Chains A and B, each alone.
Chain A
Amino acid sequence: QSALTQPASVSGSPGQSITISCTGTSSDIGTYNYVSWYQQHPGKVPKLMIYEVYNRPSGVSNRFSGSKSGNTASLTISGLQAEDEADYYCSSYTHSSTNTVVFGGGTKLTVL
C-alpha cells in the first residue's frame, strides 16, 4: 500500500481538463511544499512534470499545473492531448518513519 493515495484511473476527451488528486497526511503533503508529479509513458523513464507543488521544469507545457490544499495535492492538465495519455505519479517529502520520500500508487490517464 502506497503512502500517498491516488485514483487508479482518470479519463478525459481531447481539449478537456482533468485533475488527479494525491492524498497524504500531515507528515508529508500537509507539512511540506515538496510535492512532485511525474509522467511515465509505457516502457519509458519517468519525467518530472511539477516540483515544489506548482513549479514546472523548463520544457514542460504550461497545460500542466499543480496545487495543494491541506493534505491533498492535485495535478491539473488542461487542453488534453492524446500524448498526455500515460501514468502519473505524485511524490512528497515526508518525516514519517525513516522514509524521506514517498510516492503515490500512480494514476492511469486515458485520453478518450
Chain B
Amino acid sequence: EMQLVESGGGLVQSGGSLRLSCAASGFTFNSYWMHWVRQVPGKGLVWVSRINKDGSTTNYADSVKGRVTISRDNAKNTMYLQMNSLRAEDTAVYYCTRDEVIGSGSLGHWGQGTLVTVSS
C-alpha cells in the first residue's frame, strides 16, 4: 500500500528552524515529482514547493523562497523541507504530496500532514 508519512513538525520560536521529512513507501519513489503543500487549520491550501525526480529541479512559492529548501534522498525514499527564519505566518499543517503528472501539480496522494507552530 502506498504511504507518505510526514514528521518533524512541532513548536518553534520565530526565527528558528525545522526540518520536515516525508517517508515514502509502496511505490517507486524516484519515479515521481513531489510537492509540499501547507494549510492553516480552517483555511485554504497553499502550495509551498516541488522537486523533480532526481532532485535537480526545485521551485518555491514566493512566500517561502530564500527561507526554505526542498530536497530528496531517493536511496532512503525520503523527501525533506528545511525551513529557516520561520515566521508566525508559517504556522500550518504541512502535507507531503505525490504528483501524478510530471510536476504539473496533479497531487494524487497526500500524507496525513505534520503541524508546524511558530510562536512569536
Contacts and interface: CB of A to CB of B under 8 A. Distances in A.
Interface of A: 2, 32, 34, 36, 38, 40, 45-48, 51-52, 57, 89, 91-93, 97-106
Interface residues of B, number: 25
A48 B100 contact: yes
A106 B103 contact: no
Contacts, number: 75
A51 to B, nearest CB: 4
B107 interface: yes
Contact of A91 (B47, B61, B100, B108): B47
Interface string B36-54: 0100000011110010000
B44 A92 contact: no
Contact of A100 (B101, B105, B107, B108): B105
A99 B36 CA distance: 12
Contacts of B37: 46, 103
A51 B108 contact: yes
Contacts of A93: 104-105
A89 B105 contact: no
A99 B106 contact: no
B32 interface: no
Nearest to A104: B44
A106 B44 contact: yes
A93 B59 CA distance: 12
B29 interface: no
B56 to A, nearest CB: 15
Interface centre among B37, B105, B107, B110 (most CB of A within 10 A): B105
A70 to B, nearest CB: 19
Nearest first, the 7 A-B pairs at minimum CB distance are A101-B105, A51-B106, A34-B104, A101-B47, A106-B44, A100-B59, A45-B110
A45 B113 contact: yes
Contact of A99 (B44, B62, B104, B112): B62
A8 to B, nearest CB: 11
A105 B47 CA distance: 12
A92 to B, nearest CB: 7
Interface centre among A38, A45, A98 (most CB of B within 10 A): A45
